[in-house]
Amino acid sequence: MPLINVAIVAVDGFSPFHYSVPCILFGDTVSGEKRFNVTICAEKPGFLNSKDGFALHATQDFSAIASAEIVVVPYWQHVLERPPQTLLDSLVQARDNGAEIVGLCLGSFVLGYAGILSGKRAATHWEFERQFQSLFPDVRLDINALYVDDGNMITSAGTAAALDCCWYSTRQRFGSVVANQIARRMIDPPHREGGQAQFIAEPVPKDTRDGRINCLIDYLQQHISEPHNLDSLAEVVSMSRRTLTRHFIKATGMS
């Protein structure tokens, strides 16, 4: 079986984790069998530095993207900064050539800037949803998905979702048996479906502008192991159920 050409887009200030994921999953170090021909490409060949002290060697420039069957954009440091036009043009050409294009975490912004997500569903890190929606209003952002596959454009949520996204790509080509074998070698948990929520914890604020709600929050923290219901909590702060609900939502923004 011929090797599948994979181009991984590298940029200065890269996130080591997001680059290690496609390098490992599309490489042969863990799988023990070479299935992909992986190329690291950048605006100019050479070494790029991460903000954490790691270095990455790009062997080719963005022209390598045109001949790739899979293009992975693992990261983009400044989401409000437009990527180089050469990169955007190369992604459009890869799309036109039928390549699968993967945007991991903030890499989805690069796909957005290239215009190849227009009219499609997409995912990104939950902390940057508002910026994404503001920049790319014609993209249907799925704020809950771990990853989204829409017409050869695959985008993922933040950090660990990159693993799920790349597992998905591998499984689509080689089946679940191969994907699970690699997962076992990596001691990785079972595959998570793309529609699984990002599990974002929304902490209750410690202090609000409502003194009685602050007292209620303190009470709950001190009696966290006890059962509670709306009636018992309303009694603690001498409010009716309806009044408590209204005050709590106004003070915390949560129901």
Sign of the C-alpha dihedral, residues 19, 22, 26, 31? positive
| CA angle in degrees (0–180, nearest 5) for 147-148-150 | 160
pLDDT value at residue 153: 97
Percent of the chain clearing pLDDT 90 (strictly above): 52
pLDDT value at residue 182: 73
| pLDDT over 90 at 210, yes or no | no
Helix H segments across 46-195? 85-96, 107-114, 129-135, 161-185
Residue 242's pLDDT band (boundaries 50, 70, 90)? confident
- pLDDT (mean) for 9-19: 93
Residue among 232, 233, 204 nearest 216 (CA): 233
Residue 200's pLDDT band (boundaries 50, 70, 90)? very low
At residue 42, φ and ψ (nearest 5 deg) are -145, 180
- pLDDT (mean) for 172-176: 82
pLDDT value at residue 187: 60
Task: Give the separation between CA 215 and CA 224, rounded to whole angstroms.
Answer: 14
pLDDT value at residue 229: 87
| pLDDT over 90 at 205, yes or no | no
- pLDDT (mean) for 221-246: 85
Residue among 196, 210, 223, 224 nearest 254 (CA): 210
Residue 150's pLDDT band (boundaries 50, 70, 90)? very high
| Structure token pair of residue 198 | 């990002």
pLDDT value at residue 211: 80
Q: Which amino acid is at 80?
A: L
Task: Give the separation between CA 33 and CA 238, rounded to whole angstroms.
Answer: 68
Return the SS3 of 50: coil
- pLDDT (mean) for 26-44: 85
Place of tokens 């529609």: 195
Any idea where the domains of the chain sit in the sequence?
4-186, 211-252
Task: Render pLDDT for 85-130 as a digit per residue (tens, 0 to 9).
Answer: 999 999 999 999 999 999 999 999 999 999 999 999 999 999 999 9
- pLDDT (mean) for 223-228: 79
- pLDDT (mean) for 212-223: 81
| pLDDT over 90 at 254, yes or no | no
| pLDDT over 50 at 201, yes or no | no
Sign of the C-alpha dihedral, residues 178, 181, 187, 191? positive
Across all residues in the chain, what is the average pLDDT? 87
**Kind and range of the H or E run holding 25:** helix 16-25
Residue 202's pLDDT band (boundaries 50, 70, 90)? very low
| Structure token pair of residue 152 | 């050869």
Residue 52 CB burial class (10 angstroms; 0-12, 13-18, ≥19): exposed
Beta pairing class for 153-156 and 147-150: antiparallel
Task: Give the separation between CA 246 and CA 255, rounded to whole angstroms.
Answer: 9
Cα 242 off chain centre by = 39
Q: Which amino acid is at 243?
A: T
pLDDT value at residue 227: 83
A 10 A CB-CB count for 233 gives 17
Cα 182 off chain centre by = 21
Choose the weakest-confidence range: 19-33, 54-68, 109-123, 203-217: 203-217
pLDDT value at residue 199: 45
CATH 3.40.50.880 for domain 4-186: yes
pLDDT value at residue 27: 83
| pLDDT over 70 at 190, yes or no | no
